[in-house]
Amino acid sequence: MSATIAPPRRPEIKTALPGPNGRKIIEADAKFVTPSYPRPSFKLVAERAQGVWVEDVDGNTFLDCNAGVAVCSTGHCHPEVVRAIQDQAAKLIHMCGTDYYYQLMPDLARKLDEIVPVPSPTRTHFANSGTEAVETALKLAMHVTGREKFIAFFNSFHGRTLGSLSLTSSRVAQRLGFKRQVLDVVHVPYPNEYRNPFSAEDCEGEGAGRGALNWIEKRLFKTTTPPQEVAGIVVEVVQGEGGYVPASKLFLDGLRRICDEHGIMLIVDEVQSGMGRTGKMFASDHCGLKPDIITIAKGIGSGLPIGATVARADLMDWKPGAHASTFGGNPVCIASALKTIELLQGGLVQNSAEVGAYLKAGLEKLMRKYDCIGDVRGMGMMIGVEFVKDKASKKEDPELRERVETACFERGLIILGCGVNSIRWSPPLILTKENVDVALEIFDEAIAASI
Ligand SMILES: Cc1ncc(COP(=O)(O)O)c(C=O)c1O
């Protein structure tokens, strides 16, 4: 008798989307919940999720290649993470680490000291979100340097609280109505190699990375922004919300040199790109970048809210009261983070690299098939696909991006847009090659139906 191979699991869509139960929840949401959330054109109303599969309130099952916006790194409700959370919740839920002590806090800080690209020894400040981790980094840089100015990059996203919002520049909707920015931040075009914003003269034949460095040194430092007044340069190694755009080693090495020359803090925001997402523990590790301060959130807690700002120990020597948070470093969230890191080190970072490369190769194949895919870029399971009118003109096609996103959803694949006209692939790091084959088949069909 020949062995039968089980067919790969596929999404199952049984109702109109959203279904009747989903529509009721969306109605209630529209009435009582703030309309400021930037929800996409498709509407997912989740009920439960396991691994890479999400079930909605009408019994439809989706293959999740977004992971709750790059958060559920170990997959939804990983049994070991759930157990760690349950055990900790039964033991100690809260104690306020700003006033009292518990073992978990130094445990996670020690673990972070081992894995972050910031040179050891380090110290960690715990918060509850990405934006708070960024706020901490900004305050620390001001405290250490006694300076106030920051340099950030266009299309960056660092959060929506007022300090981090001064850096954020990926959409005007994030700024509209909030008047002048609270911090003194000057923005530089991000060195997007596909859409190089710099002149040939500025690039010196070395691409957008050199252009950005020259912009900072030859333009900013010689006009509006004396380097001796700059507290920090804040950068995403792979720009996230801005379109999943990786920066080059030349550029990142150059930023390190500029910071060293002028006593500026290099703040690397790895809230989205960290914790194995790019196939290494941190995106900085791809090019040996050594930040002074790094910000972490999203994937570290497998879905529980935790942010961390890790800095060189000699920098983080501020006095009691200078910065703290009631909930930051909550015991249950730390228990989840420690288990997450164990799972990442135990194979998921490796899986992110291997299955991510397989996914990228499949997307590159689709780029060769369709003239409307202008660029496929990224590392590990942080891959951006940019939709254009055609390859020759590179004209952005945000409407097509929306149509593809919706067509994927209707077929049971969850992917989310980023930037003006890109789709991000940020699946749980447990994704298998079998899942990738199913996802790519749906993506292909969705593009064919949308052009
Ligand atoms: C790079 C980066 N920094 C900061 C943030 C803000 O994180 P949060 O939404 O947890 O405040 C995000 C969120 O998308 C991000 O991608």
Tell me the C-alpha distance between 315 and 337, whole Å: 24
Q: What is the pLDDT of residues 256-281, one digit of tens each?
A: 999 999 999 999 999 999 999 999 99
Judge contact between 175 and 204, C-beta under 8 A.
no
Who contacts 146 (Cβ-Cβ below 8 Å, separation ≥6)?
Answer: none
pLDDT of amino acid 307: 98
Length of the chain: 451
Which letter, b or e, does each residue of 174-193 get, where b requires 16 or more Cβ atoms within 10 Å of its Cβ? bbeeeeebebebebbbbbbb
For the cut 90, the answer to whether the pLDDT of residue 3 exceeds it is no
Angle between helix 433-450 and 349-369 (nearest 10): 30
Contact (Cβ atoms closer than 8 angstroms) between residue 276 and residue 345:
no
Comparing 20-31+43-77+357-426+438-450 with 79-344, is the CATH topology the same? no
Rounded distance, CA 347 to CA 247, Å?
Answer: 26
β-strand partners of 50: 53
The minimum-distance atom of ligand 1 relative to the CA of 297 is: 10
pLDDT at residue 324, rounded to an integer: 97
Q: Whose CA is nearest to atom 8 of ligand 1?
A: 130
Q: What is the pLDDT of residue 105?
A: 98
Question: Does residue 289 contact residue 121 with C-beta atoms inside 8 Å?
Answer: no
For residue 5, the model assigns a pLDDT of: 85
What digits encode the pLDDT tens for the residues 28-39?
Answer: 999 999 999 999
Secondary structure (3-state) at 301: helix
Q: Quick one: fold of 20-31+43-77+357-426+438-450? A: Aspartate Aminotransferase, domain 1 (3.90.1150)
Rounded Cα gap, residues 199 and 208, in angstroms: 9
- For the CA of 307, the closest atom of ligand 1 is 10
Q: Locate tokens 């703040």: which residue?
A: 267
CB proximity list for 319: less than 8 A, separation 6 or greater? none
What phi and psi, each to the nearest 5 degrees, are found at residue 378? 120, 180
Q: What percent of the chain has pLDDT over 90?
A: 98
pTM of the model: 0.98
Give the residues surrounding ligand 1 with Cβ less than 6 Å away.
Answer: 129-131, 134, 157-159, 236, 240-241, 269, 271-272, 297
Nearest alpha carbon to residue 359 among 413, 397, 300: 413
- How far apart are alpha carbons 275 and 72 in whole angstroms? 11
Share above pLDDT 70 across residues of the chain, in percent, rounded to a whole number: 100
Query: How far is the centre of ligand 1, averaged over its atoms, from the C-alpha of 169 (Å)?
Result: 12
In the reported structure, the alpha carbon of residue 406 is separated from the centroid of ligand 1 by a whole-number distance in angstroms of 24
CA distance 265 to 243: 25
Class of domain 79-344: alpha beta
Residues 429 and 396 sit within 8 Å (Cβ to Cβ): no
Contact between 270 and 295 under an 8 Å Cβ cutoff? The reply is yes
Would you state the structure tokens that stand for residue 164, as one six-digit string?
């981090």
**What residue's CA is closest to ligand 1, atom 3?**
158
Q: How far apart are CA 151 and CA 54, in angstroms?
A: 40
Q: Which of 65, 425, 377 is nearest to 190 (CA)?
A: 377
Give the pLDDT confidence of 118-128 residue by residue, as tens digits.
Answer: 999 999 999 99
pLDDT at position 75, please? Answer: 98
Phi-psi region of 444 (alpha: psi -120 to 50; beta: other; left: phi over 0): alpha
* Domain ranges for the chain: 20-31+43-77+357-426+438-450, 79-344
The tokens describing 300, both together, are 């570290």
CA of 69 to the centre of ligand 1 (A): 10
- What band does 435 get if pLDDT is binned at 50, 70 and 90? very high
From 158, 174, 382, the mutation candidate for ligand 1 (largest count of ligand atoms within 8 A of CB) is: 158
